[in-house]
C-alpha cells in the first residue's frame, strides 16, 4: 500500500485504518473526477456541435423511461456503495475491539494530556506500542476539541461533560503529528503534539521508567477514600449507595424502570450529577461532586471503579464481594 508514500499530499500510513480510509477516499475522488471530466467534456462537445452558426434544429423528446431509470439507478448504486463502505469503515473505527489497552485523554485550552492506566502522564505527547489495539477514552475540561492523528486516519471530537472514544492499531514505530482539529480559541493552532509509536518492548521500558506515581486505579482508590465515597458504596449490602463491585459494563436498573449500561460516561455522570439516574432501590442522597473533581481525578475514580470487577485478589485495590476489605472503612463523621 505504498502508493501514497511518495506523494506529500498524503501523510504516512501508520495504522491499520490508514489503508482503508485512503482506499475509500481514493474511490470518492475517482468518482468525483470521473463525473467532473465527463460533464466538462460533454459541455465542450455540445457547445461545439450545437453552436449557433450551425442553426441546429432542436428535436423534442417527450421522455424516455430507459434514460430516466439509468440516471436514477446508476447514481443511486454509486451512492449506496459510498454509504455502505463509509459506514463499514466508520463502525470499525467507532467500536474498539475487546481487550484493547486503554489510555485516557483530557483536552483543555490548549494542551493534550494523556494518562496511562499504569500511571505515567504526559502532555502533548502520546506513547503507544506498535501492533496493539489502543483505545482512547477522551474528555475535555472546557470546550470541544478534536483529537486528530493524520498518519492513523483517526479523528474524534473531545467533548466537555462526557466521554468519547476512538481506537487505532499503530503499525509502524515512529513519531507522528497530533493535532487539535476543532477551532477552540486563540491558541487552537498551537494545540499540537506528537504520537510516539514504539516497539512493544521499548514501550514497556518507557512505562516502567515513568514517574513512579502508582497506577491510575490506585490513585483512584485513594480519592475514593478521601472523597468519602467508600462510606456509602460499601462492598457488603449495608451501604446506602449501590455496591460498585462488578458494576462496570453491566446493565443497571434505575428507579424509573429504565435500564442503562454502566459505562465510563454513566459512572462520570453519576459522580457529577448523581440525581440524574438513581439505581433502583436507592434514594437520591448522594451529593454532587461537580467542581470538586477535576477531569483527571474523575478518570482515576472511573478507572478504580472499573478495576473493582477484575480478579478479586489482584493488587490494584479490587474488593472482594461479601467481605469488608480494609479500604472500606467507616469514617469518623458519618454524613456524606
Ligand atoms: Cu483544541 Cu482546537
Cell numbers describing residue 294? 477535576
The pLDDT value recorded for residue 42 is: 95
What is the arithmetic mean of pLDDT over 23-50? Answer: 94
- Residue 314 banded pLDDT, cuts 50, 70, 90: very low
User: In terms of Cα–Cα distance, which of 206, 203, 271, 210 is closest to 241?
Assistant: 271
- Residue 105 banded pLDDT, cuts 50, 70, 90: very high
- Cβ pair 230, 327 in contact under 8 A: yes
The dihedral formed by the CA atoms of 246, 250, 254 and 258, expressed in degrees to the nearest 10: 180
Helix (H, G, I), strand (E, B) or coil at 188: helix
Which stretch of DSSP H or E encloses residue 306? helix 295-307
Measured from the Cα of 184, ligand 1's closest atom is: 2
What is the arithmetic mean of pLDDT over 61-66? Answer: 86
Burial bucket for residue 237 (CB in 10 Å: 0-12, 13-18, 19+): exposed
- pLDDT tens digit string along 168-190? 999 999 999 999 999 998 999 99
Other residues' Cβ atoms within 10 Å of the Cβ of residue 177: 14
Q: Residue 85 pLDDT > 90, yes or no?
A: yes
Measured from the Cα of 191, ligand 1's closest atom is: 1
Q: For ligand 1, which residues put their CB under 6 angstroms from it? A: 107, 110, 145, 180, 182-184, 188, 191
Q: Which of 104-118, 179-193, 206-220, 282-296 has the lowest mean pLDDT?
A: 206-220
The dihedral formed by the CA atoms of 166, 171, 176 and 179, expressed in degrees to the nearest 10: -10
| Cα(152) to centroid(ligand 1), Å | 19
Nearest CA to ligand 1 atom 1: 145
- Residue 5 banded pLDDT, cuts 50, 70, 90: low
- Residue 322 banded pLDDT, cuts 50, 70, 90: very low
- pLDDT tens digit string along 242-254? 777 778 888 888 8
The pLDDT value recorded for residue 122 is: 87
Q: Give the residue carrying C-alpha cell 481514493.
A: 26
- For residues 279 and 25, which has the higher predicted lDDT (pLDDT)? 25
| Cα(134) to centroid(ligand 1), Å | 22
Amino acid at each position: 500500500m505504498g502508493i501514497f508514500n511518495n506523494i506529500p499530499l498524503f501523510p504516512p500510513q501508520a495504522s491499520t485504518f490508514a489503508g482503508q480510509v485512503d482506499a475509500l477516499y481514493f474511490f470518492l475522488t475517482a468518482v468525483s473526477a470521473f463525473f467532473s471530466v465527463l460533464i466538462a467534456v460533454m459541455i465542450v462537445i455540445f457547445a461545439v456541435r450545437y453552436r449557433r452558426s450551425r442553426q441546429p434544429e432542436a428535436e423534442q423528446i417527450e421522455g424516455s423511461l430507459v434514460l430516466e431509470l439509468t440516471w436514477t439507478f446508476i447514481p443511486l448504486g454509486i451512492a449506496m456503495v459510498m454509504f455502505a463502505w463509509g459506514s463499514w469503515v466508520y463502525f470499525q473505527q467507532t467500536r474498539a475491539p475487546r481487550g484493547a489497552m486503554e489510555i485516557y485523554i483530557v483536552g483543555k485550552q490548549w494542551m493534550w494530556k494523556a494518562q496511562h492506566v499504569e500511571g505515567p502522564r504526559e502532555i502533548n505527547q502520546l506513547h503507544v506500542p506498535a501492533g496493539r489495539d489502543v483505545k482512547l477514552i477522551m474528555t475535555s475540561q472546557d470546550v470541544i476539541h478534536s483529537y486528530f492523528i493524520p498518519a492513523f486516519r483517526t479523528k474524534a471530537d473531545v467533548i466537555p461533560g462526557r466521554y468519547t472514544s476512538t481506537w487505532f492499531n499503530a503499525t509502524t514505530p515512529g513519531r507522528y503529528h497530533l493535532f487539535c482539529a476543532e477551532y477552540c480559541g486563540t491558541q487552537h493552532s498551537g494545540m499540537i503534539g506528537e504520537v510516539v509509536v514504539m516497539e512493544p518492548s521499548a514501550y514497556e521500558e518507557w512505562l516502567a521508567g515513568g514517574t513512579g506515581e502508582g497506577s491510575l486505579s490506585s490513585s483512584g482508590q485513594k480519592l475514593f477514600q478521601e472523597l468519602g465515597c467508600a462510606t456509602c458504596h460499601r462492598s457488603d449490602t449495608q451501604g446506602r449507595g449501590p455496591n460498585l463491585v462488578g458494576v462496570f459494563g453491566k446493565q443497571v436498573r434505575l428507579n424509573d424502570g429504565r435500564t442503562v449500561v454502566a459505562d465510563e460516561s454513566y459512572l462520570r455522570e453519576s459522580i457529577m450529577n448523581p440525581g440524574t439516574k438513581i439505581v433502583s432501590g436507592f434514594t437520591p442522597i448522594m451529593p454532587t461532586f461537580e467542581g470538586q473533581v477535576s477531569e483527571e481525578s474523575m478518570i482515576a475514580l472511573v478507572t478504580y471503579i472499573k478495576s473493582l470487577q477484575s480478579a478479586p485478589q489482584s493488587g490494584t485495590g479490587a474488593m472482594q464481594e461479601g467481605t469488608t476489605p480494609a479500604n472500606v472503612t467507616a469514617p469518623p463523621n458519618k454524613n456524606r
